[in-house]
Structure 1
Amino acid sequence: MMRLLTFFLCCWISSSVWAADRVVCVTRDRAEAPQGAVIASTLQKGIVLAGKYKQKGDDVTLLVAGGTYRLDKTLEMTARELGLTAGSLVVRPLDGAKVIFYGGVEIPAQYIEQAPASESRIRPEMRGKIVKVDLRKAGITSLGELRNSGFSRPAVPAWTEVFVNDQVQKLSRWPNDTMALMGEVVETGSIPRNGEMDNRGGTFRYFGDRPSQWKSGDPKWIAGYFAWGYADDMVRIAQIDTTDKTIKLDEAVMYGLISGADYNRWYVVNLLEEVDVPGEYYIDYPNMTLWLYPSEKIEKLSLSLLAEPMLALEGVKNVEVQHIDFECSRGMGVYMERTENVILRGCRFHNLGATAVCIGKGVKPYDQYAHTGETNIPVSRMIGNLAQYIYKNPVFDREAGRNNGIVDCVIEEVGAGGINMGGGNRITLEPGGNYVQNCRISRYNRVEKSYRPAIQLTGAGNRVSNCEIFDAPSSAILIQGNDHLVEYCDIHNVCNEIDDLGAVYYGRDQSEQGNKLMFNYVHDLSAKHRVTGFYHDDGACGMYVYGNILYKAGLQPVLLGGGSDNHYKNNIFIGTPYGLYVDNRLENWAKGTIDIIK
């Protein structure tokens, strides 16, 4: 009997040592660290130390002292640092303090000066209101410059943005809060969608005399909806003829130029002459100079610089990141790949230039502006041309891992969508089990608009639950794949700018079956253009739609675009002329989409 008790006691002691709780603390003040904690001086060193214990099988807590941690490269949580299996890791602030991972740089006050009165490009009424910063003197050696952005363009890091007291400022633009109507199309330009790859920019006429006031040098940038209302673009201007009142684009846009619809509109960005409302700025890239009309008194002036993901988790299991703020970066907040049971809980993603969270690989940006490229190369830590490639290869395995969650998070003021989430296998229908739960996502299209939703689902068997999504020019949720579930979500005031798109959208691949929309509340969508609550596009099939409420949900709450086996049951439609619109497009102009399932 004594030998048996001794045996059990030894086993208990061995088990306790093997599964001991370990604490690592990132701090420069040892006095604030818990007793017995191992101290690390930097975040990456803390991760490495915690990983050594985790690989031994310990359950580790990595405490991060309150403060702002500036990142000039990605924080790595990969199999190299944390191991493949063994114990668990929780990363959280020490004593509930505020912890910010920061991808930008603050400009010292001594480099912020009044703009000279001699600068002729500044409007007379703006004199004395605009400040100027010589960025080279402030220690900035390089910037993310303006680039093409729009429909079928790759999802890549944003240009450098400006923030005053952590409030985003916006590139100067005209018109300030709307867009100008396009006039007659003089030259369509080449149409990449039709295989025309010579990149000829089109020409259109404009109304009014505003361009005559622009003195800033080239290149000038123009953005807008140049053909169809779901396809925005931003390209350089080749020439403005103020006599003939024409604007010639320097580059092609996907569908060429078409005018005549109310959504065929344009605006220009980044002109010093148009810095005329609080919060606008202009960057002179050749001379590395910032001109800013601050939105409020400057206590803190910062620029986003980091283009890489702020945090990358790859090939790891059983990690939870809690209550960290990810702010002021050109790139994405968190990237995951080949992860399992990794959870982001209670985090805030704010003032990022790209997507807040990406789970799974993307596709290397195409060399040509094409709808589906010829060189489709999977790539880590980037979304790139994923949206186009999935139409070319609908069963692409993003290696997104399984059972990963984004829970109780806030995503706001980000540039190119909220969460891009893969997982699961479309051939075997093995579910990914990845999920987004109880998150609030708003203002998520500051830089890129077309097909950069709050949540994009790919693969098979992933879930979105209890989320609020609002205040965006384009879609809330984009579904690609099978057996996804969207439930108990409150979606409102999205699709504020586009035409012919839906708050929840999927389509063009008839094999995307088994998806469910259940108990969602979709409301207060614009009826100005062809906005839809649930959009089953180009033959979308096999969705189960149950128990949803659609109130003032666009021009048509539901559009069934030629597909079959879509089951609607116990849904309520309020405040619209009719509930569902059904057409037969697969028998006519949309026949080509059947090639995808073949």
Structure 2
Amino acid sequence: MTMRGLALPMLGFALLCAPASAAGTERVIRVRPPMDLHRALDEAASLRARDPGRPVAIELSSGLHRLARYARIGPEHGGREGAPLVIRGGADGTTRVVGSVPVEAVALPRDLAARLPAAARGRVKAFRLPESLSARPRIRPPRLLGPPPPPLTFEVFDARGALAPARWPNDGFARVTAGPEAARPSIRLEGAKEGAKEGAKSEAKSEAWRGEADLWVEGYWSWGWLFETIPAEVPSTGPALVRLGAKPYEGIRPIARARIVHALAELDTPGEWWRDAKRNLLLVWPRDGAGAVEVSVSDTLISLEGASHVRIESLRLERTRGDLLAARGGGDILVRNSALGWSGLRAAVFEGVQGGGLEACAIADTGFGAVRLVAGDRPSLTPGGLVLKDTRLTRHARLSWTQSPAVEVDGVGNRVVGNYFHDAVDYAVYLRGNDHLVADNEITRLLDGATDSGAIYAGRDWTARGSVIRGNFLHDIRTKPGLEVKGVYLDDMASGLTVEGNLFLRVDQPVFIGGGRDNVVSGNVFADASPAIHVDARGLNWAAPSVADSTSEIRTALAAMPTGSALWRRRYPPLAAILAREPGSARDNRLTDNVFWWSAPFRYEPPARPGDQIVARNVEAARTRPLAGGSDPAAFAAPPVQGGNFRLDTARMLRSGLPMAPSPRR
């Protein structure tokens, strides 16, 4: 076991020793299929028990590694400071760890073939699903207002990525009208059908959905900021109305639009699938040249439970029913130079971990957001020290178009620095808690089709103070006509945040203060971004009941924190007396030293009062020449202001050039 290069064929790995540091030689466990990560971790724990001070590395060979169940990393596996446990992929960056398995092709039952749309006949293939899925009657859990749901039952993949459950309409959504209330709500979906005028009721279409045992409807029911997925059925007799298995949040409003999901009659285009739960069969219309069909079976790939001093490097983590990686407890856990994608839920979750995070990664095509960083103790304002750094994030709301931020930050003292957020339907950063830093990020092309949302969002907590949004480049964030989005959205009395030194280029409503106080908006450049700064006093009108109600969300959050303690009084002086100083008003916001370039400066929505704010030294740049095109922040660093002495630091703003991960190791 201690000899250099000694092969261990019984376990399928080689144990090597190589120089590492003054602390000792690094023990390397090299993993090649059919050996898997579980056995390697067992050996790592054994090595750690015998020699706790020596670094241990598990190196997975290039190529494909499958995990049908997650790999657990506990305290017994973790390292020590200067002697971490390292799990890394091959030097060429091609090591893939996936939670999916291939499915076996079988004959398509005649009765199912007869129910297919005419265009699909002869093209749809049948596959036998893994036996582990047979006991799960539904393809997914509901998605309502609140935290992410449990893992999906499974997803279907080919070489191009995830396939979609058969749906109608295939693109976009149909208008929804509420049906008569009975034991549960019912709806009609309106849209074009063959031979009908646009907007005709599609009850003939819904006839084909009768008898579907696992039908779903997803869409926007009452608000444009809330996308919900609800089980449904069309009864076997009576009117062909779609009956919902749960009531949407605040019911069904005139804005409602939705689509049917998982109906055999809608399996009408390549890349769609449908499951027969009773026979445990999967029907797929394969995409041309997209390779074998697989389904995800693993909830997660790597679960760190109280482990410390762990490095995960140069891996491609893909295809889980839930989160790809989760770390809870412990500390000093860093994922770097890795690609994470095609998860049913998120890419990585860090909760209660002291120090660590993700660095130089690429995250794409996650289901319900991408990264969750929660660490630090709020009552004592002890920092958590987590970070998301130098990472590319895109298409992070694939399955839930709202409530799915690229990164959710909570606790105290965590950082989101130097990342590139781009091309997604939901927002980039959700801030909760205290004293976080969001700096030097590029954020672009988000929220297309969204409404009442913002690229960086915080809200509904007077106590969530001290966070700084600095030196970021937000550009090209606009939505469709009739909808509205924001850049930095300080919603529902969010207070005590700092927005400074940012560049907003072609951003609708770039800084939106929704009733809050004690915010600082200073030294920003607004270029073709109007109105640059919005202030309203919603706590004095439509939100006044929540300010007065001691059981409301914002008042409950206030009562939960020790705002009267010496520490909190020192850090956030105005907070202790907030209920005694007209709590519903928007006041004491410092709006200073900003430059407005081809942008309307301020919008105060009554009863917000300009005299309640501190407004000074803001300037409008001359409109002597049109704004430069393109998206180079350096072109907007020196607006033509009187005196010509303003210059914005844009050196770290452009992040679209971040390398793709994993990069080959030298």
Normalising to structure 2: TM-score of the pair?
0.72
State the Cα distance separating 1:590 from its structure 2 match. Answer: 2.0
Partner of 1:229: 224
Comparing 330-339 and 232-241, the one that deviates more: 232-241
Residue pair 1:82, 1:316 contacting (<8 A) in 2 also: yes
1:255 equivalent in alignment to 2:250: yes
Partner of 2:526: 573
Residue pair 1:79, 1:314 contacting (<8 A) in 2 also: yes
Residue pair 1:542, 1:566 contacting (<8 A) in 2 also: yes
Residue pair 2:468, 2:497 contacting (<8 A) in 1 also: yes
Aligned partners of 2:350 and 2:438: how far apart in 1? Answer: 17
Partner of 1:381: none
Aligned partners of 1:352 and 1:323: how far apart in 2? Answer: 18
Partner of 2:383: 431
State the Cα distance separating 1:45 from its structure 2 match. Answer: 2.6
Aligned partners of 1:405 and 1:251: how far apart in 2? Answer: 37
Aligned partners of 2:106 and 2:395: how far apart in 1? Answer: 29
* Per-residue CA distance 1:447-503 (angstroms, 9 max, x = gap): 233322110000010001111112322221111001111111121222234321111
Query: Structure 2 vs 1, CA of residues 64 and 270 (structure 1 numbering), >3 Å: closer, same or farther?
Result: same
Aligned partner of 2:487 among 530, 533, 543: 533
Partner of 1:315: 306
Question: Secondary structure, in 3 states, of the residue corresponding to 2:39?
Answer: helix
Aligned partners of 2:36 and 2:112: how far apart in 1? Answer: 47
Partner of 2:189: 206
Residue pair 1:84, 1:315 contacting (<8 A) in 2 also: no
Residue pair 1:115, 1:131 contacting (<8 A) in 2 also: no
Aligned partners of 2:534 and 2:165: how far apart in 1? Answer: 39
Q: Write out aligned runs for 1:65-80 (5 A).
A: 65-80=61-76
Question: Secondary structure, in 3 states, of the residue corresponding to 1:125?
Answer: helix
* Per-residue CA distance 1:513-545 (angstroms, 9 max, x = gap): 111111212222233322111111111001111
Taking only aligned residues, the RMSD between alpha carbons, in angstroms, comes to 2.7
Count of residues paired in the alignment: 516
Q: Write out aligned runs for 1:546-557 (5 A).
A: 546-554=500-508, 556-557=509-510
Aligned partners of 2:527 and 2:270: how far apart in 1? Answer: 39
Q: Which has the larger radius of gyration?
A: 2
Question: Secondary structure, in 3 states, of the residue corresponding to 2:38?
Answer: helix
Aligned partners of 1:184 and 1:576: how far apart in 2? Answer: 38
Query: Structure 2 vs 1, CA of residues 241 and 46 (structure 1 numbering), >3 Å: closer, same or farther?
Result: closer
Aligned partners of 2:99 and 2:523: how far apart in 1? Answer: 47
Query: Structure 2 vs 1, CA of residues 552 and 246 (structure 1 numbering), >3 Å: closer, same or farther?
Result: farther
Aligned partners of 2:535 and 2:21: how far apart in 1? Answer: 64
State the Cα distance separating 1:28 from its structure 2 match. Answer: 4.8
Comparing 88-97 and 527-536, the one that deviates more: 88-97
Query: Structure 2 vs 1, CA of residues 222 and 97 (structure 1 numbering), >3 Å: closer, same or farther?
Result: closer
Aligned partner of 1:278 among 245, 270, 279: 270
Query: Structure 2 vs 1, CA of residues 228 and 22 (structure 1 numbering), >3 Å: closer, same or farther?
Result: same
Letter in 2 for 1:119: A
Partner of 1:402: 354
Query: Structure 2 vs 1, CA of residues 542 and 140 (structure 1 numbering), >3 Å: closer, same or farther?
Result: closer
Note the residue ranges of structure 2 that are not aligned, 5 or more in a row: 1-18, 191-200, 547-553, 560-666
Comparing 123-132 and 221-230, the one that deviates more: 123-132
Partner of 2:96: 100
Note the residue ranges of structure 1 that are not aligned, 5 or more in a row: 1-14, 30-39, 190-199, 361-399
Query: Structure 2 vs 1, CA of residues 420 and 233 (structure 1 numbering), >3 Å: closer, same or farther?
Result: same
Residue pair 1:222, 1:235 contacting (<8 A) in 2 also: yes
1:500 equivalent in alignment to 2:452: yes
Aligned partners of 1:246 and 1:293: how far apart in 2? Answer: 28
Aligned partners of 2:282 and 2:557: how far apart in 1? Answer: 48
Letter in 1 for 2:187: F
Letter in 2 for 1:476: A
Query: Structure 2 vs 1, CA of residues 275 and 482 (structure 1 numbering), >3 Å: closer, same or farther?
Result: same
Query: Structure 2 vs 1, CA of residues 247 and 153 (structure 1 numbering), >3 Å: closer, same or farther?
Result: farther
Residue pair 1:18, 1:58 contacting (<8 A) in 2 also: no
1:450 equivalent in alignment to 2:402: yes
1:177 equivalent in alignment to 2:171: yes
Residue pair 1:23, 1:63 contacting (<8 A) in 2 also: no
Aligned partners of 1:219 and 1:46: how far apart in 2? Answer: 40
Q: Write out aligned runs for 1:20-35 (5 A).
A: 20-28=24-32
State the Cα distance separating 1:572 from its structure 2 match. Answer: 2.1
Partner of 2:558: 597
Question: Secondary structure, in 3 states, of the residue corresponding to 1:119?
Answer: helix
Aligned partners of 2:176 and 2:38: how far apart in 1? Answer: 51
Aligned partner of 1:129 among 114, 123, 138: 123
Aligned partners of 1:216 and 1:248: how far apart in 2? Answer: 12
Normalising to structure 1: TM-score of the pair?
0.80
Residue pair 2:212, 2:233 contacting (<8 A) in 1 also: no
Residue pair 2:407, 2:428 contacting (<8 A) in 1 also: yes
**Percent of aligned pairs with the same amino acid:** 26
Residue pair 1:518, 1:545 contacting (<8 A) in 2 also: yes
Aligned partners of 1:93 and 1:146: how far apart in 2? Answer: 32
Q: Write out aligned runs for 1:385-396 (5 A).
A: none
Question: Secondary structure, in 3 states, of the residue corresponding to 2:222?
Answer: coil
Question: Secondary structure, in 3 states, of the residue corresponding to 1:313?
Answer: strand
Query: Structure 2 vs 1, CA of residues 500 and 185 (structure 1 numbering), >3 Å: closer, same or farther?
Result: farther
Residue pair 1:420, 1:455 contacting (<8 A) in 2 also: yes
Residue pair 1:479, 1:506 contacting (<8 A) in 2 also: yes
Partner of 1:293: 285
Partner of 1:558: 511
Question: Secondary structure, in 3 states, of the residue corresponding to 2:377?
Answer: coil
State the Cα distance separating 1:82 from its structure 2 match. Answer: 3.1
